[in-house]
Chains A and B, each alone.
Chain A
């Protein structure tokens, strides 16, 4: 048999053409009705939790499967780094798990693409179980609905090196609380150590601007506004720190990992982190661990930044009742409380923060930190704008770097950053 050119071309097109569907998602959406029988196999994806909480999640899944016979939950966990890229690849390839651990900024593009189930419609009956602010944290400007169950909340501690504070003539028992105190202490630290020890390892982020009291977006939520006089004031102060080496010289290219290492090697005196870091300090830098101080985030507004974790249901799931039931099960008051007892996180369910576990002192440092954090959480604010994408973070970071290097004035840098972020916001539609 002879293959003609036409036949070959047709075969090649037939083989290659279906591939062009790859990445376009497709609209084989599941049902938005969660009222049916809870059954079927679903997949649950968490964000870097397997290493430390494997028994907890295995128990949680076993309890759910026992409560709803006929369900089976496959648990997958993704590393912290590149989590957004992993979700992005899964979403584009149509392989997004049924139930996904997300943060508000991750759920926004998924909701806009119609991949996140509107829980006001599918699970509105559970709304009263959660704190109002927590439930609202997964609402997306420009869309109606709520797109994830609120899960755990955290404020994230700020670690500081007491020994370096003492050497610089600062009182380690009174670490800075506001930005003005921070700037004063940081300049003193740099002066006393001849610029060898910096206080901070990171350039200011959008959350810093929020905690300094800068208005981040306009009232309508249609554009950014952090280039006001207050924003310029903050950046001007950071420029002063950078020039005095109170801000690490490598801060312009720092990543959370690299600044963590700087803190470990005692090259910087303060660094934000999570409760898990304490274990790392103990293991990797016992000398530092002995001198660790823990304090609240720096804020000039009286409100610390609250990080919100959520659990989203894929709108294309084939088992909507099971997926919604499981997402609710993971985030209900009982399971959030039992998770909070394993790690320093805080439940987003109504009334949980009034539990004696978060209010009653027992004399240990751990409990004191927990109670203080739970107290600050009650009036904490999620300063990260939901629509602030990775590209916007890069645009702000680059302009901040130009101001710190003296290539642009703080005012010009922030004007440019706002312009770039507004342009990206417009492109996001």
Chain B
């Protein structure tokens, strides 16, 4: 039988224990999330360079970026990326999930096939698409064969951006499809049956039963994909090259951060100011999507 003093000892130790359990996580977060974040914000108010500590310059970096043409190009391209990629990544994976949701023989193969691009390395994927879309690549050879002629997918500013968007959508389909599959599994079967009894066809059932049931998931996908789209780097970097396409016209904001802030003569202060802008826009995007959802619900 326990002595009367035992519970009080346990109670006394309780306040310390949670902190000890949380300590590893807190340490990692502090070192690899909090500290870099605070450093970036502090650096954005300095003229720090890669090898030179720099001085406090107030808002000079932020004023400079307002007059930097490349900043506006980056902001335009990152915004266009959201406009081009997010609707596709909200709708197409849902349709794909509906296709592979049914348990028919061999469906596992298709589920795996659609998910494969997600696990493939972005560098490998990027290089394959560059080969496909090259002036002498497979796609152009096919277009020439059917009489359309060669298209400058990798040399035209807008086609390059569209090609990069296509790769992002192609690579992201499987990931969001899995999220939708989980959501679809929770849609009550009775609702579909009731709608069918009331005479609703497949399209009507999709719009009036499926879509409302997975709407929270659609909002989540919209939020996640818009943040990822705004921060796009790899696809555009691999397809447009380090210079960001012809005359740098396909540069995105994150590419600009990388180009400005790295290397031996990198302008760390200015790149930090750009990063702060990316952060603020990203948070604003999330809030906007969530707010739109709340409005819709009410």
Contacts and interface: CB of A to CB of B under 8 A. Distances in A.
Given A250-B135, A265-B136, A394 B34 contact: no
B214 interface: no
Interface in B143-192: 152, 154-155, 160
B135 A16 contact: no
Contact of B266 (A25, A88, A112): A88
Main secondary structure of the interface of A (DSSP, over half): helix
Contacts of A80: none
Contacts of A112: 51-52
State the majority secondary structure of interface residues on B: loop
Contact of B31 (A19, A265, A405): A19
B51 A12 contact: no
Given A16-B35, A402-B247, A85 B26 contact: no
A84 B263 contact: yes
Given A15-B27, A16-B35, A389 B263 contact: yes
A318 to B, nearest CB: 20
Nearest to B30: A16
A12 B26 CA distance: 9
Contact of A390 (B51, B155, B263): B263
A88 B263 contact: yes
A252 interface: yes
**Residue of A252, A390, A394, A427 with highest tally of chain B CB at under 10 A:** A252
A3 B15 contact: yes
Contacts of B248: 394, 397-398, 401
Nearest to B18: A3
B53 A407 contact: no
A87 B39 CA distance: 21
Question: Of B49, B243, B246, which is in contact with the most chain A CB atoms at under 10 Å from its CB?
Answer: B246
B131 to A, nearest CB: 9
In this complex, the interface size class of chain B, counting residues with CB under 8 Å from chain A, is 35 or more
B260 A391 contact: yes
A92 B51 contact: yes
Q: How many A residues are at the interface, by size bracket?
A: 35 or more
Scoring A106, A109, A398 by chain B CB atoms within 10 A of each residue's CB, the highest score goes to A398
B265 interface: yes
Q: Which of B52, B160, B264 has the most CB of A within 10 A?
A: B264
Interface string A8-36: 10001001100110001100000000000
B56 to A, nearest CB: 15
A229 B265 CA distance: 30
Contact of A115 (B26, B51, B260): B51
A428 interface: yes
Given A2-B16, A91-B50, A253 B243 contact: yes
A407 B19 CA distance: 61
Contact of A88 (B19, B30, B134, B264): B264
A267 interface: yes
Contacts of A248: 135
A369 interface: no
Interface string A236-255: 00000000000011101111
Contacts of A398: 243, 247-248
Contacts of A20: 35, 39
Interface string B68-112: 000000000000000000000000000000000000000000000
Given A112-B51, A253-B154, A405-B247, A91 B264 contact: yes
B262 interface: yes
Nearest to B53: A24
Interface in B218-242: 240-242
A357 to B, nearest CB: 35
23 contacts: A2-B15, A2-B16, A8-B19, A16-B30, A19-B35, A20-B35, A20-B39, A92-B51, A112-B51, A112-B52, A249-B135, A249-B152, A253-B154, A267-B136, A389-B263, A389-B264, A390-B263, A394-B248, A398-B247, A398-B248, A401-B243, A424-B265, A428-B265
Interface of A: 1-3, 8, 12, 15-16, 19-20, 24-25, 84-85, 87-88, 91-92, 106, 109-110, 112-113, 115, 248-250, 252-255, 258, 265, 267, 389-391, 394, 397-399, 401-402, 405, 407, 424, 427-429
4 nearest CB pairs, A to B: A113-B51, A401-B247, A252-B246, A109-B264
